[in-house]
């Protein structure tokens, strides 16, 4: 039995049906959790129940099913509030995911409150989702994008950040955990430094949310976003957290149903928070499924989960480092269970394809972080990203598969 640091992993694995499929006639080894995580049965059941006997739209119906769906939908919002320790439920906006949440803020806050010459700071390790929306804004408004560099371990240069921050800094947006390097960034310090210059801070928590307990009040971030599908919930749903004082003064992002208070041809007034930012029929089943996912994660417990993942990370780091010609990309002291690597003489895509023949699923490519690849002068990495349902035996299978790949290319 895999019982380490308090987690009963064998038992946990039974909760995830997708872990028990075969690929190429071999048991699947799923190590692509940073791209999307598997869903426990409770999440699948919650979504199925909504579609099977509880289908209804929310907020605008008085019949039983609509009231029930609305109650479940709003309960999920309260769960998110508690999950990230927001002060109020009105600070939780449901979006399609992290990408939409960043676009929402860049569009609504950025277009309204940022002007020519204002500086926006991001980092060199951002996902394209946290680069491109700011670039679009800069092009449109004449703002200037500044970038915090990282060192060859993949750690942000905080001294460089301090030099970049000035009264011209009007917004800072950084990733909590890098999806291609695994670095856990010192976001508390970044937030404090930015706040000294009164710049609001957005935290991209797409990767962090499934590895760490998040407390937005303790962090004192102004915005934070994550996606349901990386938190063992459904695709197509995510969360934007924003401090009420910011959301309140921001104009709507999308116009349409639900986000209005009254509409006439002369003038439309907008709904209260958070509905002002939730135009149109939301992903009702997705939100309910996300609620079930958070319940599941909480039943496992972050403390045990984080400790176990650290054990897997240490084991995987040691095992992969033992392969001749393999170089880990991203060796920060503070790291989540993400192992990016290159093997000399073999393209990442070939590694991905050949380990797939052994039933091992990893991701290869630039992981939507082309500037990170440019930093290291490489086109791509192979990336194994672990979750609390993975095991040391699965890491062994990855190592065997990489060794086999090396044999093929010898
Ligand atoms: N930021 C980071 C750090 C990510 O890893 C991802 C997903 N790979 C995103 C943003 C975008 O998330 P989504 O595609 O779910 O909107």
Query: What's the pLDDT score for residue 410?
Result: 84
Report the share of the chain in percent with pLDDT over 70. 99
| Model pLDDT for residues 313-372, shown as the tens digit of each residue | 999 999 999 999 999 999 999 999 999 999 999 999 999 999 999 999 999 999 999 999
Query: Mean pLDDT throughout 275-296?
Result: 98
Domain identity same for 306 and 320: yes
CATH number of domain containing 397: 3.90.1150.10
| Model pLDDT for residues 59-103, shown as the tens digit of each residue | 978 999 999 999 999 999 999 999 999 999 999 999 999 999 999
Give a three-class secondary structure readout of the chain: CCEECCEEHHHHHHCCHHHHCEECCEECEECECCCCCCCCHHHHHHHHHHHHHCCCCCCCCCCHHHHHHHHHHHHHHHHHHHHCCCCCHHHEEEECCHHHHHHHHHHHHHHHHCCCCCEEEEECCCCHHHCHHHHHHHHHHCCEEEEECECCCCCECHHHHHHHCCCCEEEEEEECECCCCCEECCHHHHHHHHHHCCCCEEEECCCHHHCCCCCHHHHCCCEEEEEHHHHCCCCCCEEEEECHHHHHHCCCCCCCCCCEEEECCCCEEECCCCHHHCCCCCCHHHHHHHHHHHHHHHHHCHHHHHHHHHHHHHHHHHHHHCCCCEEEECCCCCECCEEEEEECCECHHHHHHHHHCCCEECEEECCCCHHHHHHHCCCCEEEEECCCCCCHHHHHHHHHHHHHHHHHHC
Residue 409 located in a structural domain: no
The answer, yes or no, to whether any atom of ligand 1 lies below 6 A from the CB of 99, is yes
Domain that holds residue 338: 9-39+301-403
pLDDT at 3 > cutoff 70 = no
The answer, yes or no, to whether any atom of ligand 1 lies below 6 A from the CB of 179, is yes
Mutate to test the pocket of ligand 1, among 129, 133, 211, 336 (most ligand atoms within 8 A of CB): 129
Return the active site residues.
368
Say how many Å lie between the CA of residue 127 and the centre of ligand 1: 7
Ligand 1 atom index nearest CA of 35: 8
The answer, yes or no, to whether any atom of ligand 1 lies below 6 A from the CB of 129, is yes
Report the predicted TM-score, pTM, of the whole model to 2 decimal places: 0.98
The answer, yes or no, to whether any atom of ligand 1 lies below 6 A from the CB of 206, is yes
User: Ligand 1: which residue has its CA nearest to atom 14?
Assistant: 99
Residue 1 located in a structural domain: no
Banded pLDDT at 4 (limits 50, 70, 90): low
Q: Which of 271, 298, 325 is the last residue of a domain?
A: 298
Ligand 1 atom index nearest CA of 235: 15
Domain identity same for 127 and 196: yes
Domain identity same for 225 and 190: yes
Residue 230 located in a structural domain: yes
Q: Which of 298, 332, 354 is the last residue of a domain?
A: 298
Domain identity same for 261 and 288: yes
Domain identity same for 287 and 315: no
Domain identity same for 256 and 311: no
Query: What's the pLDDT score for residue 291?
Result: 98
Give how many domains the chain has, as a whole number. Answer: 2
The answer, yes or no, to whether any atom of ligand 1 lies below 6 A from the CB of 98, is yes
Residue 21 located in a structural domain: yes
Query: What's the pLDDT score for residue 5?
Result: 65
| Model pLDDT for residues 149-184, shown as the tens digit of each residue | 999 999 999 999 999 999 999 999 999 999 999 999
């Amino acid at each position: 039995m895999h019982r380490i640091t308090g987690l009963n992993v064998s038992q946990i694995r039974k909760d995830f049906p997708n872990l028990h499929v075969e690929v190429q006639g071999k048991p699947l080894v799923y190590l692509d959790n940073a791209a999307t995580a598997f869903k426990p049965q409770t999440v699948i059941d919650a979504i199925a129940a909504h579609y099977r006997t509880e289908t209804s739209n929310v907020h605008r119906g008085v019949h039983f099913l609509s009231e029930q769906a609305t109650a479940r939908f709003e309960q999920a919002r309260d769960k998110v509030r508690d999950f990230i320790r927001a002060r109020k439920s009105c600070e939780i906006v449901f979006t399609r995911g992290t990408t939409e949440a960043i676009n929402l803020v860049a569009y609504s806050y950025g277009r309204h409150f940022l002007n020519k010459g204002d500086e926006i700071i991001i980092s060199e390790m951002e996902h394209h989702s946290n680069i491109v929306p700011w670039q679009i804004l800069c092009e449109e408004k004449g703002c200037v994008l500044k970038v915090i560099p990282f060192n060859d371990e993949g750690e942000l240069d905080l001294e460089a950040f301090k030099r970049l921050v000035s009264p011209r800094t009007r917004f800072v947006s950084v990733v909590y955990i890098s999806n291609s390097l695994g670095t856990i960034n010192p976001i508390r310090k970044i937030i404090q430094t930015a706040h000294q210059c009164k710049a609001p801070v957005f935290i991209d928590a797409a990767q962090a949310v499934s590895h760490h307990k998040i407390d937005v009040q303790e962090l004192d971030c102004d915005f934070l976003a994550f996606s349901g599908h990386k938190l063992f919930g459904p695709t197509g749903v995510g969360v934007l957290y924003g401090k009420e004082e910011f959301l309140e003064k921001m104009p709507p992002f999308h116009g349409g149903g639900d986000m209005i208070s009254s509409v006439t041809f002369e003038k439309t007034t907008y709904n209260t928070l958070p509905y002002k930012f939730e135009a149109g029929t939301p992903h009702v089943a997705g939100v309910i499924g996300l609620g079930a996912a958070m319940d599941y994660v909480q039943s496992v417990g972050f403390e045990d989960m984080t400790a176990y993942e650290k054990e897997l990370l240490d084991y995987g780091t040691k095992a992969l480092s033992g392969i001749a010609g393999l170089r880990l990309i991203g060796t920060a002291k503070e790291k989540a269970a993400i192992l990016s690597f290159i093997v000399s003489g073999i393209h990442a895509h070939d590694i991905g394809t050949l380990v797939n023949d052994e039933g091992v699923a990893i991701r290869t490519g630039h992981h939507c972080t082309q500037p990170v690849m440019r930093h290291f002068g490489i086109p791509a990495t192979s990336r194994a990203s672990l979750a609390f349902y993975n095991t040391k035996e699965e890491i062994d299978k990855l190592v065997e598969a990489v060794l086999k790949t090396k044999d093929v290319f010898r």
